[in-house]
Amino acid sequence: MLTTFVFMEMINRELSWLSFNERVLQEALDDTVPIIERMRFLGIYSNNMDEFFRVRVAFVRRMAILNKNKKDVKDDEISPVKLLDDIRNVVMKQQIKFQIAYNKILKELEEENIFHITHEELSPEQEIELQDYFKEELQHAIVPIILTKKNPFPHLRDSGIYLAVEMLTEGKTKRRMALIQIPKEFSRFYLMKKGDVQQIILLDDIIRLNLKRIFSIFVFDEVKAYTFKFSRDAELDIDDDITLSMMEKISQSIKKRKFGEPVRFVYDEEMSEELLKFMLKHLNLKKGVNTIPGGKYHNFKDFMSFPNFGKKEFVFDKKTPVWHHRFVNKRSLLKEIAKGDVMLHYPYQRFDHVVDLLREAAIDPKVKSIKINVYRVAKKSQVMNALINAVLNGKKVFVVVELQARFDEENNLYWANKLREAGAKVSFGIESLKVHSKLIQIHREGSKGSSLVSYIGTGNFHEKTANIYEDIGLLTVDEKIGEEVDRIFNILDGFTNDRRFETLFVSPFSTRTGFEELIENEIQNAQQGIEASIRIKFNNLVDEDMINLLYRAGKAGVKIDMIVRGICCLIPEKEGLSENIRVRSIVGRYLEHSRYMIFHNAGKRKYFLSSADWMERNLNRRIEVACPIFNEKIQERLERIFEIQWKGNVKSRIIDEAQTNRYFKDGNPNFSSQEELYNFYKEMLERNAKQNPSVLHP
């Protein structure tokens, strides 16, 4: 039995997440990042913040309402009420940096003869152009709602952008108020060009320009409109009605989400006090608690699609994912995998290989069945289409669809229905456990008997995100791995309750204990004077027990290096606690999403890929899979990947207790780990082509 040591010195989870999002904001302030990409990082930051408030702040707010004050929490924890205040203070400071970044980008664009203009800066010709555009395109999509004390306040969608309108008469002593939702079906950006000068105006300002037309039946002296953004609690309420199917429960819960409690109101700080008070009263919000004043424009997540004005230098240079050298000009990927394990690394290598594998399996007469579990897939998914094609070709197709993948529930419901209509068997997993693993298994009957081709990955089967998310997947015909992947699918299908795993670590059954034993082994080796080390890369480190075990390992002399992209509640390099633990975070062009672990194991290193971060939910309340890597070449590749990522001194930040997000600088020439990894795979393909002339570039 493992001995428990309690240190309990940790960084608060929510504040650590805000520190991660500040690293995203740093990218928008980095002059070495192409200018439009910096604008898009502002969009990513904004989108991240939206989800943070809808999920995490909403949770803290519920705890505060339940009177979880200091009397109810441990001495080293922050009360929910104080935490909400701390969150607001951090967000307010970041809001200032956000505005600085935005203004800096606009100024640099002006130097390139590109100007963001408002409705007040238009030439007469431009006014006519935009009034015509409004009349021909926008007018009938605008539905103003007049606000009165008598009429019930309208229901607001937290995914929308709104203008709060104020019409003033009689020397501004009388006012009429209204709301306009900015239509989502139109681009937020309208471009105008005259000679070498390009100008961009937001949809918000085109509507402002036409306010008199919209409210032409009213008499007023002045009319103004202020943009605001509104967020609701996004928690799904899954009731216990046994007469409803899971699909029906999710469908109903998605509808209820639209009426969740308000958690944030971000508004134009120029909004009049009277209009602000009216809005907050009817939204059941309090100024200074749920409210964040800001600039004129909000919902910057739209800026993720900010135009590049046709200039290549404004965006990242295009990097086409390279082919895996084992798959170049191969007639059959299934036969190639049978020769030995293949590791794919996205977005440096092609995710198309996975789609091609499924397409091959769909038409191969020797393939009997395909099993897959999906957490998130693209709206126009080639993966799903390949599975439907497999059904049409007579294959048995079993798909586990996770209906509670947050904010993708509707998309997953759509594909679940499409798959069922085609004839695939669809399951929604095990009650109370999200299925977050990334598995495919293809059963093939060949001339030499049957084989199971298994895929175990760290990321979703999503063609779009695979171009920007850094992830790893293993393809193998290893019998032990294949048998246990098959057992997982049988558990999810209800065929077996056998939850014993000897090769894979499977949450919630064995992942925690499996990694605990590996860490304990390193501790014992260190105590005996044997070299001991752990290298880990994942997205989030939150679980208290795992953090305390890592603290104990570090104190025993185990050298621990970790790359943690997002939340890190562990405090690294603190005297008396974690001197032997170093943590860095890489935030750059690609979203670091892979999870893998390397344990020294007295020189006989052990390697794992995993779908799970070390969070309580991933270890205890989800189906997750960590897979050992047996192939020596792939082991060497993982070592090389970690070395490249750890060596990076361009986009790597040092994680510390103060959450300063200092860039890691070692005095060496600039070394971008993401650039180097792309070059690494490109050179590998070219090297193999030279060594084997039959392997030509596709």
Cα-based distances in Å from 148 to 170, 234, 320, 361: 19, 28, 55, 62
The three-state secondary structure class of 601 is: helix
Whether the CB-CB separation of 325 and 335 falls below 8 Å is answered with: no
Q: What DSSP character marks residue 641?
A: H
> Which range, of 25-39, 119-133, 140-154, 278-292, averages the lowest pLDDT?
278-292
> Which range, of 69-73, 196-200, 218-222, 347-351, averages the lowest pLDDT?
69-73
Which pLDDT band, with edges at 50, 70 and 90, does 260 fall under? low
What's the pLDDT tens digit per position in 365-379? 999 999 999 998 888
**First-to-last C-alpha distance (Å) of the chain:** 55
Integer Cα distance of 563 and 92 in angstroms? 28
Residue 324: closest CA among 347, 353, 354: 353
What's the pLDDT tens digit per position in 438-481? 999 999 998 778 999 999 999 999 999 999 999 999 999 999 99
Strand (E) or helix (H) holding 293: strand 291-294
Which residues fall within 8 angstroms of residue 276, CB to CB, at 6 or more apart?
A: 267, 287
Active site residues: 436
Cα-based distances in Å from 31 to 76, 587, 661: 39, 15, 17
What's the pLDDT tens digit per position in 521-532? 999 999 999 999
Per-residue pLDDT for 257 more than 50?
no
Integer Cα distance of 684 and 395 in angstroms? 36
pLDDT of residue 690: 80
Average pLDDT, the chain: 90
The three-state secondary structure class of 323 is: coil
Which pLDDT band, with edges at 50, 70 and 90, does 256 fall under? very low
> Which range, of 150-164, 307-321, 458-472, 548-562, averages the lowest pLDDT?
150-164
CA dihedral 611, 502, 358, 397 (to 10 degrees): -110
How many Cα neighbours within 13 Å face the side chain of 399?
33
What's the pLDDT tens digit per position in 39-56? 999 999 999 998 898 888
686: region left, alpha or beta (phi > 0 left; psi from -120 to 50 alpha): alpha
Buried b (16+ CB within 10 A) or exposed e, 580-600: bbbbbbbbbbbbbbbbbbbbb
Which residues fall within 8 angstroms of residue 384, CB to CB, at 6 or more apart?
A: 374, 377, 415, 418, 419
Integer Cα distance of 608 and 630 in angstroms? 9
Residue 270: closest CA among 226, 233, 240: 226
- Which residues on adjacent β-strands are paired with residue 396? 369
Please report, as a single letter, which amino acid is at residue 358. Answer: L
Per-residue pLDDT for 236 more than 70?
no
pLDDT of residue 6: 56
Domains of the chain listed by start with CATH number: 13-314 (3.30.1840.10), 325-503 (3.30.870.10), 506-666 (3.30.870.10)
pLDDT of residue 250: 43
> Which range, of 60-69, 209-218, 551-560, averages the lowest pLDDT?
60-69
In sequence order, what DSSP letters do the residues of 477-522 get, joined into one string?
Answer: --HHHHHHHHHHHHHHTTS------SSSEEETTTHHHHHHHHHHHH
Per-residue pLDDT for 237 more than 50?
no
What's the token pair of residue 587? 């935030």
Integer Cα distance of 532 and 518 in angstroms? 11
> Which range, of 100-109, 134-143, 396-405, 483-492, averages the lowest pLDDT?
396-405
The larger pLDDT score, comparing residue 698 to residue 641, is at 641
